[in-house]
Structure 1
Amino acid sequence: MQELQIWSEEIGAVTDPPILLIVGSMSQGILWPDEFVGGLVAGGRRVIRYDHRDTGRSGTVDFAAEPYTWHDIKDDVYRVLDAHGLDSAHLVGQSAGGLLGQFVAVERPERVRSLTVIGSSPLGGGEGQVLMRALTGQPQPAGSLPEPAPEFVAFYRALLAAAPPENRRDRIDGMIAEQRLLHGTGLPFDEDAARRLQERVHDRARDLSAVANHRLAAAAGPDFEPVGVLHRVQAPTLVIEGSHEPVKPGHGAIIAEQIPGARLRIVAGMGHTLPPEVHAELADAVLAHTAG
């Protein structure tokens, strides 16, 4: 297999404690807002963010010729740490990035100084199966994780049934509609800011269609295993969930219950994105959690 290039950037003094930001599935590292990153750097942290494989400026993969699973995406975390000369770091993961952070904390605890999980699901909890059953209208077995909000299910059912957009404007309009949905209903949605962000995401991607490989990766193998091992997480853990989370409502409390000593923080108004209104609160929470 040809060596895969992973784009990353580092901000802050190399002598400061390192934080690795792990974004969600099918997403670019720039979705970690500059203002949030700046708050961490101003608080004395060395911050690294990166584009997952098949997103943004990172390399793209011919999935038919060289298929991969989410285990391989998880191993990219180690590649980024190694590339920046880090034996360990504070991990901060959002959505699927939070699952990756949990996986690394279980598998290689010596590489995780602390763990912060934002808007995520518990490792091994079957989040992917819950989503697929919701989208296909199948009943959820007893004990399953809470389903996404009805408006989320309706949006993605329509999206999966629609023809792909044919031009830049339509693609960006669709990306904004998705961001509006993920934003939730707890805070005002700034459509102008959303357009600027999605234009940037669109235009810096090597191949915008390659993000679909993340779905193929989930189907190619167990998306997030192993099951029932969160009690093995040794890193101090902070779990953050928005009060208006539309994708994984209530999942944060389940994570906090399963990881010894984990703390749960609910951010008022936040959905599944990181809008300006919560940047300062999130940065302060992460700075406090990674102090000492």
Structure 2
Amino acid sequence: MLVATGGVQTRDWWDDGFCARLVALGLRVVRYDPRDTGESTHWPPGAPGYTAVDLRDDALAVLDALGVPRGHLVGLSAGGGIAQELALAFPERVASLTLIATTAVDPRVGPLPRMSPDVGRALAGSPTPDSRDPTAAVDALVEAERLVAGPTAFDEARVRAIARRVVARSRDLAASANHHLVTDPGDGPDDLAALPGLPTLVVHGTADPLFPAEHGRALAAAIPGARLLEVVGMGHQLPPAASWDVVVDGVAGLVGMVAQSADA
């Protein structure tokens, strides 16, 4: 199972405990640092030398490097977009989709509500993490996560522990903002109705301030046969620990569907 994280995020944001639940299903879980994050290849801040399609193809390259012909994909936020695009462009490589706190890549889906102006202003005013001051960088990452988490679903101790790991491992925290600048040529397939029969779970929070709940509902409706799991109180974040049992049960259902299809 390949897990793709959100924009500007390292692989560390996939909580060890959550991944352990997936491993307990008998899955091999693979986390990776996207370009300009963690220990991956970096470009100068403000000058990314790649496109959104390159970010998509990087995920496929990870599967190739591991010799995985067909994998289960889990995508969080921007990682959910990458997972959708991979399924559309390379359907033979994708066994199932779990799409968390994301929105449809299909322009036919909508119109959908935008993030609240207050959240947008708060994010715009957030300090940029600076690798030269690790303590301040950790604080900045924690506060950025607090802004988008559900009001009752923010675990500061967990988030701070992950933020410390991110700062310790990252070659250049400022370069991660390049993700906001990458372009998408827009010439790939984007019709989600072309994915009938692909086992899909959409996990979305009722308190997501970036992609309000309507995004998750519309995404699930756009993919034939997709199941929607709404997590009450969850914001734009990895599902909180209290919901892991039900989320992992949903993933297990997808894995079971794929196994049954292979045995048929």
**TM class, shorter-length:** 0.7 to 0.9
Deviation at 1:195, TM superposition (A): 1.7
Counterpart check, 1:252 vs 2:216:
yes
Aligned to 1:180: 146
Q: Give the paired residue count.
A: 253
Is 1:269 aligned to residue 236 of structure 2? no
Residue of structure 2 equivalent to 1:237:
200
The TM-score with structure 2 as length reference comes to 0.87
- Cα 1:240–1:178 change in 2 (3 A) is same
SS at match of 2:225: coil
In the alignment, is residue 144 of structure 1 matched against residue 126 of structure 2?
Answer: no
User: Which residue of 1 is the match for residue 28 of structure 2?
Assistant: 46
Q: For residues 207 and 56 of structure 2, what CA distance do their matches in structure 1 show?
A: 28
AA aligned opposite 2:125: A
Counterpart Cα distance in 2 of 1:164 and 1:228: 34
Structure-1 residue corresponding to 2:14: 32
In the TM superposition, residue 64 of structure 1 has moved relative to its aligned partner by 7.6
Task: Say whether residues 1:193 and 2:158 are aligned partners.
Answer: yes
- Residue 88 of structure 2 contacts residue 189 of structure 2 at CA under 8 Å; is this kept in 1? no
Superposition deviation, residue 101 in structure 1: 0.6
Rounded Cα–Cα distance in structure 2 between residues aligned with 1:95 and 1:163: 20
Cα distance, 1:35–1:124 mapped onto 2, change above 3 Å = same
Please give the alpha-carbon distance, in whole angstroms, between the structure 2 residues aligned to 1:163 and 1:213. Answer: 12
- Segments of 5+ residues of structure 2 without an aligned counterpart are 260-264
User: In 2 relative to 1, CA 124–227 (structure 1 residues): closer, same or farther, beyond 3 Å?
Assistant: farther
> Would the aligned equivalents of 1:99 and 1:121 in 2 still touch at CA under 8 Å?
yes
- Deviation of 1:226 after TM superposition, in Å, equals 4.7
State whether residues 128 and 174 of structure 2, in contact with CA within 8 Å, keep that contact through their aligned partners in structure 1: no
Share of identical aligned residues, percent?
39
Structure 1 residue ranges (4+ consecutive) displaced by more than 4 angstroms after TM superposition: 62-66, 162-166, 224-228
**Structure 1 residue 24: Cα displacement:** 0.9
Report which stretch shifted further, 261-270 or 95-104: 261-270
- Partner of 2:136 in structure 1? 170
TM-score of the aligned structures, taking structure 1 as reference length: 0.80
Unaligned runs of 5+ in 1: 1-18, 128-142
- Contact kept, 8 Å, 1:186 with 1:244, in 2: the verdict is no
The answer on whether the counterparts of 1:126 and 1:145 sit within 8 Å (CA) in structure 2 is no
**2:46–2:177 contact (8 Å) kept in structure 1:** no
